[in-house]
């Protein structure tokens, strides 16, 4: 890369000079014509001399190139201030960027803020309130138990979730309800490391691929969610209405800075997590 910089400077200067100075264009074209004339003379001379083709051709090329070099050199001497100005103008910005390549001016940290100003205002302003808890029997229906048999004993306490994550998730709930007509329900929030390991050992990839302290659930930064239809929880994405809801839910979650499990190799459509800066999986958080 360092070798390319001088080449770039030289090319930029030559192109700029060619464009800005008509006299240089004339001089250069004159030199090129002289070079071509030298080539023709060399070829003609080589035909006249037996075995002198290479020597005559080389002599012609050398003469032409010398003519171009003399023309350019003479022009630069006559217009040295203009040439210096072009060199400075072209090289200064790139030279500055090269010298400042290790400066923090050009180091950008990951910005996890959402670019949507309205969403940022909601997150920073009014504190959204979790919906009332659903009755326990809502999680014991045949459909729910068939898809998530361990959900009955799951924690659905909003107060165990990280406050920042809670506001983002509640904002997802609000947008899904107001814009798309989907009511959402929390089916599992905080998950203890013991429960996480138990789910991995018992059900494996059907429920999770993560062991204890390998999931954002243990940090209060993840939640599994589903939809409410006619007062009943709908989890399975085999339901076309629910599948459409999950797709919208994934889009909205990403808009507010959450990671959606629907894009994973083993898709988890109801899962969202907040990869909060400073939180490292595998390290138990300090006690609250």
* Per-residue pLDDT tens digits for 171-180: 999 999 999 9
pTM: 0.59
What is the structure's pLDDT at 114? 47
Q: How far apart are CA 91 and CA 204, in angstroms?
A: 60
State how far the Cα of 77 lies from the Cα of 115, in Å rounded to an integer. Answer: 55
Q: How far apart are CA 275 and CA 281, in angstroms?
A: 10
pLDDT per residue as tens digits for the range 62-73: 655 666 566 667
| Predicted local confidence at residue 208, as pLDDT | 85
CA neighbor of 63 nearest in space, from 86, 89, 34 = 34
**Fold assignment, 117-273:** Muramoyl-pentapeptide Carboxypeptidase; domain 2 (3.30.1380)
Question: Which residues of the chain carry a pLDDT beneath 70?
Answer: 1-6, 9, 13, 16-21, 24, 35, 42-72, 75-76, 79, 82-83, 86-87, 89-125, 206, 288
- Using alpha carbons only, how large is the chain's radius of gyration in Å? 36
Domain spans, the chain: 4-106, 117-273
Q: How many CB atoms lie within 10 A of CB 220?
A: 26
How far from 274 is each of 107, 191, 221, 264, CA to CA, in Å?
24, 15, 5, 15
> pLDDT tens digits for 182-212?
999 999 999 999 999 999 998 777 688 899 9
Which has the closest alpha carbon to 219: 253, 195, 191? 191
**pLDDT for position 40:** 76
């Amino acid at each position: 890369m360092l070798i390319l910089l001088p080449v770039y400077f030289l090319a930029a200067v030559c192109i700029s000079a060619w464009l800005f100075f008509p006299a240089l264009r004339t001089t250069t074209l004159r030199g090129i014509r002289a070079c071509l004339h030298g080539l023709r003379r060399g070829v003609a001379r080589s035909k006249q001399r037996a075995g002198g083709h290479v020597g005559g051709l080389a002599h012609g090329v050398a003469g032409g190139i010398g003519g171009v070099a003399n023309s350019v050199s003479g022009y630069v001497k006559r217009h040295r201030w203009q040439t210096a100005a072009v060199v400075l103008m072209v090289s200064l910005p790139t030279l500055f960027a090269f010298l400042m390549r290790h400066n923090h001016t050009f180091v950008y940290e990951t910005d996890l803020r959402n670019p949507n100003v309205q969403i940022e205002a909601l997150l920073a302003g009014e504190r959204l309130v979790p919906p009332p808890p659903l009755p326990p029997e809502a999680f014991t229906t045949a459909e729910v138990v068939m898809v998530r048999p361990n959900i009955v004993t799951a924690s659905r306490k909003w107060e165990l979730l990280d406050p920042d994550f809670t506001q983002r998730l509640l904002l997802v709930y609000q947008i899904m309800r107001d814009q798309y007509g989907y009511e959402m329900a929390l089916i599992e929030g905080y998950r203890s490391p013991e429960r996480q390991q138990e789910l991995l050992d018992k059900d494996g990839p059907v429920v999770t691929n993560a062991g204890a302290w390998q999931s954002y659930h243990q940090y209060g930064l993840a939640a599994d969610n589903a939809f409410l239809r006619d007062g009943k929880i709908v989890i399975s994405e085999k339901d076309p209405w629910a599948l459409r809801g999950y797709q919208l839910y994934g889009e909205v979650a990403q808009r507010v800075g959450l990671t959606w499990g629907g894009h994973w190799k083993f898709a988890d459509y109801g899962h969202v997590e907040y990869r909060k800066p400073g939180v490292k999986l595998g390290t138990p958080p300090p006690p609250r």
